[in-house]
Structure 1
Amino acid sequence: MERRWTGISAKTFREVAPVHDPSAAGRTARDTRTAASTVKGVRSLCLYARISQVTDGTTNTIMIGEVVGPLCLWQDWGYQSWGTMAHPINYRNEEFIAGTLSRGDANACIGFRSRHEGGAFFTMADGSVHFLSENIDGNLYRNLGDKADGNPVDGFGG
């Protein structure tokens, strides 16, 4: 069963994961660097936020999420393992595991995922580790991934 969130546009996708910008094709990582303050997450390709930039609080901000590299070529590179929160946790996992969806389909595979039943592990900016349900509210999930949006993360329990 495919789960989709409504209201996710290409613009939202680029804002959540700015390193996966189709307009950057052919440019090097150095060419696509932007100020760390413009990146929504704690980490992006070649960019790392300072703790002072995590204004939502380190307890309420995801720093690292679980991925399954063998299911996604984009996450199976030793130097560039990243994901986006534009897709729900474990998005289309069954298709990847069955081999019916291409490991190279970046649009579908670069979300956070695991082989655990019902969710994946995430490390917050304070170092704590939490198992987040694949049924987490989409807005709450994206708010946890943004270091400085000021949105509430009620119900997270971090």
Structure 2
Amino acid sequence: MTKAMRPVRRAFTLVELLVVIAIIGTLVGLLLPAVQSARESARRSSCSNNLKQYGLALHNYHDTNGYMPSGAPTVPWGSPALSWHAYVLPFLEQQGLASKIKFNSGGDERFRDAGGGQQVRSVKLPVARCPSDSSITDQDGWFQSSYSGSLGSQRTPSADGNCNQYLGFAEVPSGGADHGNAWNFKDISGVFSRLVTEQKGCSFNMVSDGLSKTIFMGEILADCNDHREGLWSFNGMGNAHASTIVPINTMTTCYDSQAEATTKNVPNPQCFTKSNWNYSWGFRSKHPGGAQFLFGDGSIRMIQETIDHTTFQRLGGRKDGGTIALDD
């Protein structure tokens, strides 16, 4: 075949190129949500596994001691006391870290290692972090957690008297100790206290509603609480304890809560802030539509934020007589 007889290759026209680009864009648009969904599913599974490990640790602690760790027994105010997280470290395969904590010392000395240098309270513990909450920030050298123990249906009044109403929240009969501070554990609605004078925490025989029907732990967003120290401190309500009086996923933007209040038509939006403990001491997550919880029998449940609020509160109570089961 002569050179003159060879077929001429036709280039893409601009229209054809634009069509191809449009098709690729459409395919990317269709695939991206699926990819994002798969990634979130993996993150959610990781968060669930973390809670599962905590569940095993709490059961092993209980088997060893006959009770769960209390919030912070006989500790003076103003002193960074150890939270229950610290006491279960050996049961989370963290014996080395636990050995660095001075359980019988006071104040910051509890968290200083033998060399006097590294602050143990800044050590990052992977099992205590949910990868879905990638924006979580540590504060003042305190490592922040994605999981809290449940106070149950416990009132958490705000320090701001102008914002000390529940703004439409239903409230079932709760424990008699605001913020979970009690002289006696019987005044606590849930399975964890914040501060009691007793050395012992809740035992399983105190959960008369049934282990499979009682929330032990759940997911939180530490950045949505201004009253936080860290994973190790009982005083850090953003890490150690949360209340089921607050509906799930109430306030999840943390740093743009006023805009969220407008979107959700919240009454008194000036009170919709992380400094209002009526809002901030609740369970919440970055998972769409709900948060994950550890129940006393070791099961992990995803509870939707649309759950009946009274039902949610009763799931937090260990002895309110409301033996409510979630549908699997």
Q: TM-score with structure 2 length normalisation?
A: 0.38
Shift of residue 104, structure 1, vs aligned partner: 2.4
Aligned residues: 139
* Rounded Cα–Cα distance in structure 1 between residues aligned with 2:248 and 2:215: 13
Q: Structure 1 residue 131: deviation in Å? A: 0.6
Distance 2:305 2:168 in 1: 12
* Residue in structure 2 matched with residue 145 of structure 1 by the alignment: 316
Q: Which of 130-139 and 45-54 deviates more? A: 45-54
Counterpart residue identity of residue 186, structure 2: S
Secondary structure of 1:74 counterpart: coil
The one-letter code sitting in structure 2 at the alignment partner of 1:126 is: D
> Do 1:114 and 1:120's aligned partners in 2 also have CA atoms closer than 8 Å?
yes
- The residue correspondences of 1:10-21 to structure 2 (distance < 5 A) are 15-16=174-175, 18-20=177-179
Q: Which moved more, 1:139-148 or 1:71-80?
A: 71-80
Q: Which amino acid aligns with 1:52?
A: N
Q: 1:61 aligns with which of 214, 218, 222?
A: 214
Give, in whole Å, the separation in 2 of the partners of 1:19 and 1:76.
Answer: 19
CA distance in 2, matches of 1:60, 1:75: 29
Match of 1:39 among 188, 193, 211: 188
Runs ≥4 residues deviating over 4 A:
none
Q: Against the structure 1 CA distance between its residues 77 and 16, is the aligned structure 2 distance closer, same or farther, given a 3 Å change threshold?
A: farther
Aligned residues with identical type, % of pairs? 24
What amino acid maps onto 1:145 in structure 2?
A: G
Partner of 1:29: none
Instruction: Give, in angstroms, the shift of residue 70 of structure 1.
Output: 1.4
The structure carrying a bigger helix percent of its residues is: 2
Aligned-partner residue type, residue 192 of structure 2: R
TM-score (norm 1): 0.75
SS in 1 for 2:292: strand
Indicate the SS of the match to 1:43.
coil
Q: CA deviation at 1:151?
A: 1.2
Q: Which residue of 1 aligns with 2:204?
A: 51
Q: Distance in 1 between matches of 2:282 and 2:289?
A: 15
SS at match of 2:310: helix
Number of the residue aligned with 1:8:
171
1:73 and 2:242 equivalent? no
d(CA) in 2 for partners of 1:135 and 1:18? Answer: 27
Q: What SS is found at the alignment partner of 1:77?
A: coil
Letter in 2 for 1:119: G
Higher relative contact order (CA 8 A, sep 6+): 1
Deviation at 1:45? 1.1
> Residues 56 and 149 of structure 1 are in contact (CA less than 8 Å); yes or no, is this contact kept in structure 2?
yes
The CA distance in 2 between the partners of 1:142 and 1:68, in whole Å, is: 19
Aligned-pair CA distance for 1:37: 2.2
Unpaired segments ≥5 residues, structure 2: 1-166, 259-271
Q: 1:19 to 1:45 in 2, by over 3 A?
A: farther
Contact 1:67 / 1:75 at 8 angstroms: preserved in 2? no
Instruction: String of CA shifts for 1:63-115, please: whole Å, max 9, x gaps.
Output: 01111101212355322321111121001224x25253543222221111001
1:87 aligns with 2:246: yes
Contact conserved, 1:63 with 1:122, CA < 8 A, in 2? yes
Q: Deviations over 1:91-145 (max 9, x none)?
A: 1224x25253543222221111001110001101111111100001111111110
In our comparison, the structure showing a higher alpha carbon Rg is: 2
